[in-house]
Structures are given as C-alpha cells and as structure tokens.
Amino acid sequence: MRVSIIKGVTAVVAALALPLAVSSPAQARGLDDSFARLLMKEVTGANVQKHLAALQGIADANSGTRAAGTPGYAASRDYVAGKLRKAGYKVTLNPINFVESWTENSPPTLELTAPSQKTYAPNEDFHTFEPSPAGDVTAQVQGVDLTLPPTPTPTSTSGCEASDFNGFVAGRIALIQRGTCAFATKIRNAGFAGASGIIVFNEGQPGRTDAFPLNIGEWRAGVPMVFADFAVGNELASTPGATVHLKVDATLNLGTDHNVIAETRLGDPRNVVMVGAHLDSVTAGPGINDNGSGTATILETALRMAHYPVRNKVRFGFWAAEEIGLLGSDQYVESLTDAQRDRIRLYLNFDMVASPNYAYKLYDGDDSDATGSPAGPPGSAQIEKQLEAFYDARGLGHVGTDFDGRSDYGPFITVGIPSGGIFTGAEGIKTAQEAAVFGGTAGAPYDACYHQACDTTANINATALDVNVDAIADSTARFAFNLRSIPERAATTGASRVALRTAS
C-alpha cells in the first residue's frame, strides 16, 4: 500500500474513532464522505476478480455449477463464510429449505360434492401444481377478489395482496384467479390466510383459458393445490355454497441449504444497513456474472470495512436458492420478528453488476419511470438518488429499472423495507438509446450467456465491474454512517404482506 494511502487511512480511522453515537448530522456528513473515499480505494476490481476466479474454480471442481443443493453451492458458501470469519466477522449459516424432489404418485382429484355433484378430469380440466404437498380435503370454496367476467386484457389481482383475503374463512378452499402477480405470491397469501386447499384457475382471456402442468417452486402453504381451466373456476365461483373434494397424492422431499449472514461488530444495532447478493448459480453453469459479480463485490466490501468503526450496523447477506424462487431471502425475511424487520433501515441488492453488454440500471425507487411495479417503500427513492449521485459525479449515464420481483429485494419490499441497488441487465435486449449512452451493441442481450454454461470469468465486463465496485463501496459506506435521508421505519406489527406486480 502506498505511503499516501497509509496516511489517509490513519487519518480516517482517527476520525472514525470519534464518539459516533453523539456525532452531529454535520459530523456524520463528513464521516460518510471520508469513509466512502477510503473504501473505494480499498475495494478494487482486481481484488473482486480474485473472488470471481475462486468461484469459477469451485464450479470447475463441481460439475460446472454452484446451484442450490449441489456440492458447488456448499463450497461457495464455505469460501465466503471462511473469508468473513478470517476477517473477524461473526458468521451465521442461516438454514433454508428448498424442494429436493417431488413425485406425483397418482392423478389428483377435484370434484364438486354440493349442492350438486360433478367430477372434473385430472390432467385435462385441471393439473396439480408442482410441487404441491399431499393432501385430501373436502370443504366449501371461497372466491378471492375475482374478476368475472374477465376483462379483455389480463388485469386480475386475485390473491396478490394479503388484504384480498380479508373475510376469508380459515379452513375453506381458496378459489383464486390467475393474473398480474406470480402464482407463488397467490399461493403464499392463501397459506397465510389459513386455506385448507388452493384452486387457481386461468384468467379467461383468449390464450388464457386452459390449465397446463406448471412448476411454481412453492410448497410452503402446506396444502394441496391445483391449476384449473377458466371454465372450472368460473363454474365453481358461480355455484353458491360450492363444496369440493380436493386430493393430491404426491411425495415431496425438502433439502437444506444456508444463507451466509455476517454483520459488523460495531454500529448501532437499532439501525441496520443490509447489503445482499445471491450466492447460488443456475444448474446449467457457474454463474460468474449471475451472480458471482454481486457476491464477490459485497464480499470484498465486507472484508475491507471489517475493522472500521461505523455509525450504523452493516449486515451482509449472501442468499441461497435465489434461482429457484428467492427462497433464501424470502425465508430469512419471514423468520424475522416485526421488531427485527423494523431495525433494518434499508436493503441494497446487487445482482448481475458486470454484464458484458452492460447498462447502468438503478432500481426505480420512486417509480419515476412510471412502468411496471409501483414505487418502493418510503426511503427507496432516496436510495436511488444516492446511487444516481455517484454516477452523476463521474459523468456517467444511468437508467431506471423496475422492481419486477426477479431478485432478492422482493421479500424486503414486501414487508415495507426500503430497497435499491444496481443491475446491468440479463437476457433483455439493449436499446439503441442505451447503446448511445453506454456503448455496446444495440439489439443484443445485455448478457448473452445468461443462465448458460458460458457464464464464466470470460463473461465479465471489466469496465462495468470497476465502476460498480466503486458504486457499491460508496453507497455502503455512506449509509453505514448516515441515514438522514431514510425515513424512520414505522412499526409493522400486523402489517399486511404486499405483492410485486410480476407476470403470471
């Protein structure tokens, strides 16, 4: 390390050693700027590349993958946890479940038993949702916020919010219409409402009438669940007092993986800045851009800030099983008490930050783009503005990207925790306007190796990585010292879960 940097570090450490708990807002502004400049010098793209090479080596030694449930994921987990422990963090391996295997043993049953009788044809009129738990229930059906007749284009929000189940009688079978949010969201909300079984039926527009086999990756409602034709759902909804017999005969086996959680030893535990990235890859490849890039960057950030005093506690989360349904982050957030959630002042998510044909995309916390999902919880707009300030200061362009529910910010937003982060693009196509701002190739994917075996260390754009390494270090450092722009979290006891508007 150069002598000038050593002197700078010594000066900043001396400044940071001030009594942070009583520092004024003006002092906090000075500290966050000083620490941000220091951390950006220490967290380098070259060091992040070393972690990427290690993750590639792990995949190479484990059949080319680091997917959940594989030895490659376990080795990735141990690599990250080992580095963090060596740096002095107290590391928690937070267990989560995922579906290891699912087998349907015999065809499902769905029959109307009252006030009239009718048997529906399995695998024709309806299909079992994979991975439905086994179950055999006879109960009255209750429709949940149905839109009948259906609108000309998909608009149904049935089951998308917990409030849709206000007045739902626990123990009944939930009858839910497809549309506008993920099937898994509807299933989870029905489970929270105490449904004894779940029937989701197709929405009813042309092309959205027949059911089909579908793996939704969600089982945690713990009850039998099926996907039915629109005609079936419409008939049940229009039959007063309809009672049905629903049976699924299946064998569901769960596996266990672990999130890696580490937090700074210093900092106010009442004000937690959480920084996360998913650690797993898809089965098909090593996942170096998706999401070794985010993993390696927040790991290096954690290692470099390990011994600095910070005003607010910083917690790093390396998520398991993101690629099969955000399972690691969702189960982590669900395990927290209301008080623990309220201590998390914000969540920063970094998933794919070095795409080869990159654009600098910042999550649209204020919905200024007016597309897709609404604005994030209060504070999300301020996170976006903080990130914008970094790129603006360097004269770099940036664009918004929607909170579309495809990464680990989803569970945090669902419980009202303000969120933000950086994304450089996946399988989507780069526009001519973006190519004019960022360079690269218009009309081509941001990452042509997305979810493929070619997502290796050769699939990293070094320029994007270097810029985003600095952006991530900068935002983490500033929020570690100063949360003045983030509204205080309101108590969430009894708060409803809300859904991101993702296609279903």
Distance CA 69, CA 320 (A): 9
> Which candidate in 218, 322, 323, 434 is catalytic?
322
218 catalytic, yes or no?
no
**Beta bridge pairs of residue 261:** 92, 317
Sorted by sequence, the CB contacts under 8 Å of residue 456 that are 6+ apart come out as: 56, 285, 286, 288, 449
Could you give the count of Cα atoms lying within 13 Å of 359 in the half-sphere of its Cβ?
25
Residue 67's contacts (CB-CB under 8 Å, 6 or more residues apart) are 73, 280, 281, 282, 283, 287, 323
- Give the Cβ contact number of residue 396 at 10 Å: 13
Q: Is the peptide bond before 149 cis (omega within 30 degrees of 0)?
A: yes
How far apart are the C-alpha atoms of 165 and 179, rounded to whole Å?
Answer: 16
Distance between CA atoms of 290 and 348, rounded to whole angstroms? 16
Q: Between vectors from CA 197 to CA 193 and to CA 201, what angle results, nearest 5°?
A: 100
3-state SS string for 31-42: HHHHHHHHHHHH
What is the torsional sign of CA 123, 230, 166, 502?
A: positive
SS3 27: helix
Q: Give the count of beta carbons closer than 10 Å to the beta carbon of residue 450.
A: 22
Amino acid at 191: G
Q: How far apart are CA 227 and CA 127, in angstroms?
A: 5
Neighbour tally for 47: CB within 10 Å: 16
Output b/e per residue, 459-473; b: 16+ Cβ within 10 A. bbbeebbbbbbbbbb
Radius of gyration of the chain (CA): 24
User: Do residues 263 and 316 make contact, with C-beta atoms less than 8 angstroms apart?
Assistant: yes
Tell me the C-alpha distance between 289 and 426, whole Å. 9
Query: At 196, which amino acid appears?
Result: S
Q: Provide the token pair at 208.
A: 């959205």
Which residues participate in catalysis according to the annotation?
322
